[in-house]
Chains A and B, each alone.
Chain A
């Protein structure tokens, strides 16, 4: 029996990717991420690949990942948003003031509704800022680069102005859960529940897409390929769950919880796992939601069409201005979500929060394969890009590199990543045209 895989490994891989319809770029990014993780782990003497560090990494990534999901659509539509860090700053400040200075006057401290009201006000503020900037881009014709460059200064100024530069703290206790930490983790059992939900969703998706294709008589993926894809997805979920559930709470905290619940502490000490962090769940939910918007709705289709050929989209009867405004409203709203995560995590709102985040967010989107000339990009890629950036950064901290050197490395990685992506694209495009 001849095994084609042994003769031509490159070709076998290509065949495998074609049959399973796995995006080769995504595989490339995962490989890059794995290399970074293993490399940093070796260089830092095994400090990187620990449940504790990976758990922290996931929490640190959440804020930038949420904004990167929105930035993909902004860039796909041939725009840019330089103001996301400043929007995060001003919205964080608004939410901080609302929950620790405004609402307590009426509701008292630690009221059950405080976190929800503060979040709602923040989301509305973020959406309103996006609406304003989007309207200026779409209806007044000022380039997004300029509008959001202005926004970068304006919203940062506003963040300072709200409290004249004073830091607002502490945050409401329920609100703080959005930032992770001990209170902001869902524990081992809920983590397993989330995993079960994810397994069910993967199975349902696989079956539903098969049924839809069968209905109109399209070729189906081979069954082995379906199983491989679904299996890999489930394995990924399982890995995340196992890591999250092997990061234990500090022993003292565990004892306190046990006391409160009237459980006897066993002599060997008590081990209670963190489980998944709330901000990570928020980021994943946002990722799924924005992916859905981008790929399954008219809005998303128009965003991509706009990036591919704005004139043609207009001639097709699409209200391109409205699409543009909506993209910016979504971006502003996601900035508010990130603001909630980072103020909750810091347990304070400061006027410098989110400074330089616009660069990390744009870099994440671009590393994730979003083309700056528009029309091309995936939400999953951008969020993975955010994880790559954060892995490098916290890896270098663990390795004890100085901050200037960290910046140099991140800058070089950004440029090299985009160059590699270009190489890959020109090659596949040529391949596709023959």
Chain B
């Protein structure tokens, strides 16, 4: 972690306020290639908001984002995609009335040489990606509305990984899934990690992500309580960080850590 190579993503002093409320207050966090960092905290702790600044959905009031050590400006979701940052939102952000292929390529459609949509090529690509994620998936012609929760999740994940992401942000990736689908997502995360993709996992439930993550980062009331390698802390200690804001000995305290 502390080698000479700069981390893949560095967030420095990120802050954003909504109507006088500091939703995210001076948070600094980094992510290495092939690393899984779990971002934990209660609902309203500011974790989704922090990550939305990285994905371009919000523009921060202060702070700097660096990729490979280079400062970058992320003003829109398009900017973030261009830098290889892909986000799977908790809501999945799918257009319910369109089919899987249209959703997968939304904003990045494949075109024929006449400049028209190449739906056939997009469906063919979608079949390829989906066969990797969910071999039983057959509803390529149906609108996403007609799919099950797991199938929708697969479409959202397919969209994120199809375009050679370097950084993947997953907001509550398994909240809506059954046990078997949760295991599939876990396998996928490990596989992507092996491919060198840096992954932020956002969750309010420590049990979902503790075993998958290399490090945890805990937020409370918009501030970073601290970060810790998962090997150096216990689940109970992380729970203490989430609930009380206390920082155990194995963790690196942040500005939000309880004094004392």
B partners with A: yes
Chain A interface (Cβ < 8 Å from any Cβ of B): 212-213, 215-218, 292, 295-298, 301, 304-305, 307-309, 311-318, 375-376, 429, 432-433
B71-107 CB mask vs A (1 if < 8 Å, else 0) is 0000011100100000101011111111000100011
CA distance A429 to B98 in the complex (A): 14
A317 in contact with B117 (CB, 8 Å): no
A315 in contact with B98 (CB, 8 Å): no
Q: Which residues of the other chain, A, contact B96 by a CB distance below 8 angstroms? A: 308-309, 375
CA distance A235 to B78 in the complex (A): 48
B136 to chain A, nearest CB (A): 16
A212 in contact with B93 (CB, 8 Å): no
Given A296-B117, A305-B106, A317-B81; A429-B97 close (CB under 8 Å): no
B117 in contact with A301 (CB, 8 Å): yes
B124 lies within 8 A of chain A by Cβ? yes
B95 in contact with A309 (CB, 8 Å): yes
Q: Which of A212, A376, A433 contacts B97 (CB 8 A)?
A: A376
Query: Which residues of chain B from 117 to 133 have a CB within 8 Å of any chain A CB?
Result: 117, 120-121, 123-124
Q: Which residues of the other chain, A, contact B187 by a CB distance below 8 angstroms? A: none
Q: Which residues of the other chain, B, contact A315 by a CB distance below 8 angstroms? A: 55, 57, 77, 87, 89, 93
- A212 — nearest CB in chain B belongs to which residue? B120
B117 in contact with A297 (CB, 8 Å): yes
- A318 — nearest CB in chain B belongs to which residue? B107
Q: Which of B77, B78, B124, B146 contacts A216 (CB 8 A)?
A: B124
A328 to chain B, nearest CB (A): 21
A92 to chain B, nearest CB (A): 33
- B102 — nearest CB in chain A belongs to which residue? A301
Given A304-B97, A308-B96, A316-B93; A296-B77 close (CB under 8 Å): no
B116 lies within 8 A of chain A by Cβ? yes
Instruction: List 19 A-B residue pairs with CB atoms under 8 Å apart, sorted by A's residue number.
Output: A292-B116, A297-B116, A298-B111, A301-B117, A305-B106, A307-B97, A312-B93, A312-B94, A313-B95, A314-B77, A315-B55, A315-B57, A315-B87, A316-B93, A316-B107, A316-B108, A318-B107, A375-B95, A429-B146
CA distance A218 to B141 in the complex (A): 12
A-B contact count (CB 8 A): 83
Chain B interface (Cβ < 8 Å from any Cβ of A): 55, 57, 76-78, 81, 87, 89, 91-98, 102, 106-109, 111, 115-117, 120-121, 123-124, 142, 145-146
Q: Which residues of the other chain, B, contact A309 by a CB distance below 8 angstroms? A: 93-96
A317 in contact with B77 (CB, 8 Å): yes
Of A297, A301, A305, A315, most buried by chain B (CB within 10 Å of CB) is A315
A316 in contact with B97 (CB, 8 Å): no
B220 to chain A, nearest CB (A): 27
B145 in contact with A429 (CB, 8 Å): yes
Q: Which residues of the other chain, B, contact A311 by a CB distance below 8 angstroms? A: 91, 93
For the residues of B in contact with A, the DSSP-based class is loop
Q: Which residues of the other chain, A, contact B107 by a CB distance below 8 angstroms? A: 313, 316-318
Q: Which residues of the other chain, B, contact A314 by a CB distance below 8 angstroms? A: 77
A304 in contact with B95 (CB, 8 Å): yes
- A314 — nearest CB in chain B belongs to which residue? B77
CA distance A376 to B95 in the complex (A): 12
- A431 — nearest CB in chain B belongs to which residue? B146
- B87 — nearest CB in chain A belongs to which residue? A315
A375 to chain B, nearest CB (A): 4
CA distance A295 to B115 in the complex (A): 13
CA distance A298 to B107 in the complex (A): 8
Given A218-B124, A296-B116, 19 further pairs, Cβ under 8 A: A216-B120, A216-B121, A216-B124, A218-B120, A292-B116, A304-B98, A305-B98, A305-B102, A308-B97, A309-B93, A309-B95, A312-B92, A315-B87, A317-B77, A317-B107, A317-B108, A318-B106, A376-B97, A429-B145
CA distance A162 to B178 in the complex (A): 66
B37 to chain A, nearest CB (A): 22
Q: Which residues of the other chain, B, contact A313 by a CB distance below 8 angstroms? A: 95, 106-107
- B124 — nearest CB in chain A belongs to which residue? A216
Q: Which of A212, A216, A298 contacts B109 (CB 8 A)?
A: A298
CA distance A123 to B121 in the complex (A): 36
- B145 — nearest CB in chain A belongs to which residue? A429
Q: Which residues of the other chain, B, contact A301 by a CB distance below 8 angstroms? A: 98, 102, 106, 109, 117
CA distance A164 to B254 in the complex (A): 72
Q: Which residues of the other chain, A, contact B109 by a CB distance below 8 angstroms? A: 298, 301
CA distance A376 to B96 in the complex (A): 11
Q: Which residues of the other chain, B, contact A218 by a CB distance below 8 angstroms? A: 120, 123-124
Q: Which of B87, B98, B117, B123 contacts A298 (CB 8 A)?
A: B117
- B140 — nearest CB in chain A belongs to which residue? A218
A308 in contact with B95 (CB, 8 Å): yes
